[in-house]
Amino acid sequence: MNRMKMKTEILPAEGEAIAKAADLLRRGELVALPTETVYGIAADARNGAAVAKIFVAKGRPQDNPLILHIPDASWLTRYCEDVPDAAYKLAESFWPGPLTMILKKKPCVPLRTTGGLETVGMRCPDHAVTRAIIEASGVPVAAPSANTSGRPSCTTAEHVREDMWGKIDGIVDGGPCQVGVESTIIDLTVTPPQLLRPGGLPLESLRDALGDDEHGRIGNPGDVLANLSVGRHIDRAGGVIKNEHARMLEQRARDAQALLLTARKRIGALVELVLDLVPENDLFQAFDYGFFDVSVILNAVYA
Ligand code: AMP
Ligand code: MG
């Protein structure tokens, strides 16, 4: 099927539409859902084919890890291994809300969703309708921002319609999002926990919630920079790999351009030399004499 010609349905954020959106998600379709920050394109995070459609709709690189959205902390153990007490403490204080916790993933979460990582980001959005839809669908949803890669994130259903029309199956119109910053991300797979991305929740409130034990000593972004684990984070999030790759491609393009310039100069010199040698400076005769034999040209370029 041509995904660009898909029928997109606008669904109200109430009544039967909730069951309809839930049904679309269960069937592996894409539905834009409102959250407290921005609209997300949601898909069943356990379904690799559904998740692949998100990347197609967004035009987003496939190595970017997606965050799982769940209706409450009781779902953590379905998708995460060895959930530490700290996760429940934080969930109690800040969920629903803009806090993403990185935990060890269970095998039911495909690597396609986590960008190849053995860990997974978990979040419970502060939007009652979206939580009701996820609850009714019975599936955790991966939901990156509902916009074409490189375009601004959408904070109204109308913006989503303009950007995603014909690329997704449904848009739940939950009105404008409260304008907010993106979720704070904390990695609970390391001791002490590490702040990976500052966001809606200040570090101090996270420390307060975790109390005075070793979990309270969250590494802050300064520490992270000092011990270079910011590289590890970005690396895990795919950023460094992408930047490294982009840098390598740029370097190759520069090398190729330099080589081409050298080649042009040398071939130019060869042509001038050859033209001096053949009667009447006739290029065709130069070919006849074999002066433009491939090996002659290669010798001229790489000499
Ligand atoms: P968002 O832009 O709010 O959809 O969040 C996606 C970002 O969360 C990714 O680009 C990563 O920076 C981060 N992220 C998601 N999952 C993980 C993970 N398992 N480990 C580290 N960072 C993650
Ligand atoms: Mg975005």
Per residue of the chain (303 residues), give pLDDT as tens: 444 568 999 999 999 999 999 999 999 999 999 999 899 999 999 999 999 999 999 987 777 899 999 999 999 999 999 999 999 999 999 999 999 999 999 999 999 999 999 999 999 999 999 999 999 999 999 999 999 988 888 999 999 999 999 999 999 999 998 866 788 889 999 888 888 887 778 777 888 888 765 555 666 544 433 332 333 333 344 444 445 555 556 666 666 666 667 777 777 777 777 777 777 777 777 777 776 666 666 666 555
Distance between Cα 197 and ligand 1 center (Å): 9
| Residue 192 preceded by cis peptide, ω within 30 | yes
Largest CA distance in the chain: 92
Judge if the beta carbon of residue 185 lies within 6 A of ligand 1.
Answer: yes
Distance between Cα 153 and ligand 2 center (Å): 5
Ligand 1 atom nearest the C-alpha of 123 is 3
226 burial via Cβ count (<10 Å: 0-12, 13-18, 19+): exposed
**Residues 209 and 94: beta-carbon distance below 8 Å:** yes
Judge if the beta carbon of residue 189 lies within 6 A of ligand 1.
Answer: no
**Residues 174 and 130: beta-carbon distance below 8 Å:** yes
76 residue type, one letter: L
Tell the residue nearest (CA) to atom 22 of ligand 1: 237
Of 230, 34, 21, the residue nearest 146 (C-alpha)? 34
Helical ranges in the chain per DSSP H: 16-26, 48-58, 76-79, 85-94, 111-114, 128-137, 157-164, 203-210, 221-226, 229-237, 239-277, 283-288, 294-302
Judge if the beta carbon of residue 38 lies within 6 A of ligand 1.
Answer: no
- Look at residue 200 in the predicted model and tell me its pLDDT: 78
Q: Which residues surround ligand 2, an ion (CB under 5 A)?
A: 145, 153
Number of the ligand closest to the Cα of 67 = 1
Distance between Cα 2 and ligand 1 center (Å): 29
Of 9, 12, 14, the residue nearest 29 (C-alpha)? 9
Ligand 1 atom nearest the C-alpha of 197 is 12
The residue whose two tokens read 């490294």 is 244
* Secondary structure (3-state) at 45: coil
Judge if the beta carbon of residue 119 lies within 6 A of ligand 1.
Answer: yes
How many H-runs (helices) and E-runs (strands) does the chain carry? 13, 11
Ligand 1 atom nearest the C-alpha of 117 is 19
Judge if the beta carbon of residue 237 lies within 6 A of ligand 1.
Answer: yes
Judge if the beta carbon of residue 140 lies within 6 A of ligand 1.
Answer: no
- Look at residue 278 in the predicted model and tell me its pLDDT: 75
Judge if the beta carbon of residue 37 lies within 6 A of ligand 1.
Answer: no
| Residue 140 preceded by cis peptide, ω within 30 | no
**How far is C-alpha 122 from the geometric centre of its chain's CA atoms?**
15
Judge if the beta carbon of residue 183 lies within 6 A of ligand 1.
Answer: yes
Distance between Cα 97 and ligand 1 center (Å): 16
- Look at residue 246 in the predicted model and tell me its pLDDT: 59
How wide is the angle at C-alpha 46 spanned by C-alphas 44 and 51, nearest 5°?
55
Distance between Cα 128 and ligand 1 center (Å): 23
Cα(269)–Cα(135) distance, integer angstroms: 73
Judge if the beta carbon of residue 137 lies within 6 A of ligand 1.
Answer: no
- Look at residue 302 in the predicted model and tell me its pLDDT: 58
- Look at residue 222 in the predicted model and tell me its pLDDT: 43
